[in-house]
Each structure stands twice: as structure tokens, then as C-alpha cells.
Amino acid sequence: MIHAWMTRRAGLAVFTLAAFGAWQTAGAVGTAANTTVSNQSTVSYSVGGVAQAPIPSSPTGNTTPGGGAPTTFVVDNRIDLTVAESSGGNTPVTPGQLNQVTGFTVTNTGNAAQGYQLTPTNLVGGALFGNTDSTDVANLRVFVDSNANGVYDAGVDTATAIDTLAADASVAVFIVSDIPGTATNGQFANVQLSARAAVAGTNGATLATETSGADTPGSVDIVFGDAARDATEVSADQYAVSSAALSVQKTSAVVDDPFNGTTNPKAIPGAHVEYAIAIANTGAAAATGLQINDPLPANTAFRTGGYNAGANDVSITVGAGPATFCIAEAGADSNADGCSRTATDLVVGAPALTTVAIGAGNAVTVRFQVTIN
């Protein structure tokens, strides 16, 4: 005899899942680390055409209608960042300048607040902005923009690491350095900023460590998501040295002597000899504050009144322009024209001589005369 219960066929079980949202991100950095993701499945079924009480799921298994528990996990920490040069070009500097600034932007593209250890370095060789690195700067330092104004403020921006940077946030960082006095016009110094992820709140001292092995349920694991998988990004910037490049030439010529006058004069006692000091600038910046100190040679005496019909002692010309003149008093520069003499030196400075500009036609020539004893 076949019992009725043996002829019963279990109805096809039907189960549903709460919406899960595959790979969906919340914002540019994705779901924040340590976010709990939770859902629960419910299985509905019938037996012999009779609907039975649904059974919710449980992480450990559930057989009780109305029981069960959600299945949860926490989102892990994906460390990612970018470092970018912020000016779009090099920083013009001159030899000997101190505290010159290049700027960068560090952005946290991960999904948790992060700290960063910052390291500035000189690069050797390599091209940037079409210019090849050819010198190094000195006294490299790195500072974080503490007041978010995008400008380096000495004495205000003193932090040397990023303590905490929120996900999807950016901060300006500055490399500050000194330009050697030996740098020359047309040289370029490339520098690099390195940012290495660190534990937030440690001022960059405790570096982040990637979690090894399998996922740790219920804990926030760390995954390095940057291109090199090393939680480090770099960017370079450049200092461009612009300086004067002076060429100084000094020549002499006999003007006259007591016997030949101005016709084929010779350098004999009593003759007048003219010195011409020609200064040309082939650099990229004007030379300012120019001053000539010329020791008067032994066996000669400075000739006063050698120019401008006996009214002046020194002649100054710029290019092919007309000459200007000054009086080289013995002692203090009493008329403040920039020319004077000490016991041994001729001094020519401002305002008679101030600037040698760049470019053709701007060479400065200073002339004075001596008498041979």
C-alpha cells in the first residue's frame, strides 16, 4: 500500500536576497573603510502545495522561521594617493637665494583617513619641462600648508609630515631650499617629493603596513592600491637659475706723451694712459648694484680732469650711447655721484654705475686715465 505521504512531492524552494549592490562605490574613493555591510537572505518554500513559514539565513545556519541573523563584513582600507607638481612650470631663482619654494599637491584617493611621511630629494639628471637637471640645491626641507592658503608661510607652515588627511581630501606641500652661490645662469635643479602612507594621527612616523594572507573577518585589513603597490607616490619640480653672466675686459692705451703729443704716443714718464673696463652681460638677468674697485697701479698717478674738457675724471658709456661723467674725489664721495678715490683705489658705483642689462648694445665701458711717473 502506498501511503499518501510517500506520494507527496516537496514544492520547488524559492529564495530571495536583499539588494546587495555589486562593486558600487560611494563617491570618488569608494565606501569608507570600517563600514559594516550587512544583509540577510530569506528562503520561502511550499510542501504539498502549502506555503511554509519562510526561513531567514544565518552565518552559522538557521532552521527556525523568524530566526537567523544578518551576514556582515567590514570594508577594508584601500590605501591610494597621488602627488602632483602644482605650478605647471619651473621656479625662477638666482644664485645665492635662500628659502626658494616649489609646490606640490598630495591627495588621498583611498577610502580612509591617512597620514603621510614626506621626503624631499635632489634628482640627478633627467629632464623636466624640457630642461635637463644640471645642478643641485641645498638645505632641502619640506613643509605642509597648515592654513590651506596654498602659499608657503615661513614660521606658520612648520609641519614636516601630514598627520591626518581625510579620504578624497588634498593638501599643499612645499619643498623649500637654498640656491648655491655657485649656480650659474641656465642651470636647472630638479627636486622630488615622495609621500609614503602612514597611520593617521602619527605625524608620518608609523608607516602603514599591508595585510598579508587571507581576509580577516570583522577586521579592517590594509591593501595598497597605488600603481606600484608600495603606498608611495612621487612627483618632481624644478628650479631654473636665471643670473647675470658678466664678461669683464680691461685694456689700456697711451693717449699722449710729452714729446709726441697724440701722434703715435709712447708709454714714457709723463705720458697719459687710458684704461677701459668693458662689462658685458650675456646672462638672463640684469646685474644690479654694480661697483668697480680698481687699484691704481704703482708708478702712476690718477689723472684728474681727463674728460669733458677737464671737468670730469671718469667716463661711462652704455653701448654706443653718449658718455656720462663723474668726479673721483680723493676721500669721501662728497658730491654723491658714485665716483671717489681712496689712497690706493678708484671706486665707481651708484649712481654713476648701477646696472648692466642683458642683451646686445647694453655693454658698459668705464674709462679713466693715469699719468706715468
Predicted local distance difference test score (pLDDT) of residue 84: 97
> Among 343, 341, 339, 367, which residue's Cα sits nearest to residue 354?
339
Q: Do domains 78-241 and 246-372 have the same CATH topology?
A: yes
pLDDT mean over 355-368: 93
- Check the CA dihedral 195-196-200-204 and report its sign: negative
pTM: 0.76
Residue 135: pLDDT over 70: yes
Distance, in Å, from the CA atom of 249 to the CA atom of 280, rounded to the nearest integer, reads 9
pLDDT mean over 216-241: 96
- 140-166 per-position pLDDT tens digit: 999 999 999 999 999 999 999 999 999
Return the minimum-mean-pLDDT range out of 8-12, 101-105, 263-267, 307-311. Answer: 8-12
Residues facing 71 on adjacent strands: 39
305 Rama sector, left if φ>0, alpha if ψ -120 to 50, beta otherwise: left
Greatest C-alpha distance within the chain = 159
Domain extents in the chain: 4-75, 78-241, 246-372
> Among 219, 222, 191, 188, which residue's Cα sits nearest to residue 208?
222
- 237-282 per-position pLDDT tens digit: 999 999 998 999 999 999 999 999 999 999 999 999 999 999 999 9
Collect all residues with Cβ–Cβ distance below 8 Å to 235 and sequence separation of at least 6: 83, 84, 85, 104, 192, 193
Residue 13: pLDDT over 70: no
Distance, in Å, from the CA atom of 318 to the CA atom of 321, rounded to the nearest integer, reads 6
Distance, in Å, from the CA atom of 120 to the CA atom of 191, rounded to the nearest integer, reads 7
pLDDT-above-90 percentage for the chain: 87
- 294-325 per-position pLDDT tens digit: 999 999 999 999 999 999 999 999 999 999 99
Per the listing, cell 701722434 goes with 263
Predicted local distance difference test score (pLDDT) of residue 24: 34
Specify the CATH class of 246-372 in words: mainly beta
Cis peptide before 351 (omega within 30 of 0): yes
CATH architecture of 78-241: Sandwich (2.60)
How far lies 73's CA from each of 16, 37, 38, 46, 318, in Å?
A: 20, 5, 7, 32, 80
Predicted local distance difference test score (pLDDT) of residue 28: 54
